[in-house]
Chains A and B, each alone.
Chain A
């Protein structure tokens, strides 16, 4: 299963969500399909995409938040699974692309290549819904179900260790950050229009 095909298969469903991605291939591939103002790409701070998604989800219970994580990033912040499980925001879907590799720095294998089971860890932390998928069909079904579930979900998607040729895109980090925060604000004001003064 290719990560970019996974992203294409759920791209339409991401339109209504707030999306936080990790750096590297995930960010570059999602942008290659098409950037949207409700997508925030955390181009560093490995491990903190899930924490960012948790902060957004807790503060905006009326929004659906999707985190596009990776095995290398999640392994750097496994405690995040326990913190997410502790608060169980119903509006958070955590997708982990597990290519068993630190692809962007030369493809060195991560611990998941040696048997570390991220779904097992998520489950043992107390994430209410966790699953591992290995083909595109199962992936799209798992994501659709998670988005409809009204319960915190972690989906481990086993993907090939392949990615784009380059990781730098023409969207600058600050442009993305301010566009995203403005988008969040606009969505909130559309839900609750300000009273005329």
Chain B
């Protein structure tokens, strides 16, 4: 499977370096290595979800407990989590660090991903969620640190879109 293990490790290590101690996740192809790394790491609490919206509650609970967390999900999982983002994270000023695999955009071969690809950024903008792309391994670590810092200082959800160029080795 040509998901980049090296870049997944880079992302994982950057999350650890930010002090992230809890990851919620729902598997998707691009996230397999990241999830396995969390699984193998005794310092990381990995919470496997039935649906991504649960992750908003779990991250909120972690934040109220003083623990830094991040959410790993596909963009369709982001769509599934929107009510929780608005009516919990926004309403109660809860920081969320969301790492969203950006499926259904340029280079996508799976037809079923393409509608989600079209609406991801318009929805992020409509919700007022600050976001950046993670496409280049050179800047990825810094951007993860910046996203985590902004989420904590602004007490709001912040998104990093995991791009094909970073996650996939053709």
Q: Does A95 contact B (CB under 8 A)?
A: no
Q: Does B67 contact A (CB under 8 A)?
A: yes
List residues of chain B with CB within 8 A of the CB of A58.
Answer: 22, 45, 47, 58, 61-62
Which of B83-91, B107-115, B120-128, B145-153 makes up part of the contact surface?
B83-91
Which of A5-13, A79-87, A116-124, A137-145 makes up part of the contact surface?
A79-87
Q: Does B5 contact A (CB under 8 A)?
A: no
- Chain B nearest CB, measured from A72 CB (Å): 14
Residue of A with least CB distance to B93? A174
0/1 interface trace, chain B 46-61, chain A, CB 8 Å (1 if under): 0111110111111111
> CB within 8 A of A44: which of B47, B66, B87?
B87
Chain A residues 74 to 100 lying within 8 A of chain B, measured CB to CB, are: 77, 79-80, 82-83, 86-87
> CB within 8 A of A51: which of B56, B87, B92?
B56
Which of A27-35, A156-164, A177-185 makes up part of the contact surface?
A177-185
List residues of chain B with CB within 8 A of the CB of A54.
Answer: 47, 57-58, 61
Cβ-defined contact, B91 with A48, below 8 A: no
A-B contact pairs, 29 of them (CB 8 A): A20-B61, A44-B87, A45-B57, A45-B83, A45-B84, A45-B87, A47-B53, A50-B57, A51-B53, A51-B61, A54-B57, A55-B47, A55-B59, A55-B64, A55-B69, A56-B64, A58-B45, A58-B61, A79-B49, A80-B57, A82-B50, A83-B49, A83-B54, A173-B91, A174-B93, A180-B64, A181-B66, A184-B64, A185-B66
Residue numbers of A with Cβ under 8 A of B are 20, 40, 42-45, 47-60, 77, 79-80, 82-83, 86-87, 173-174, 177, 180-181, 184-185, 188
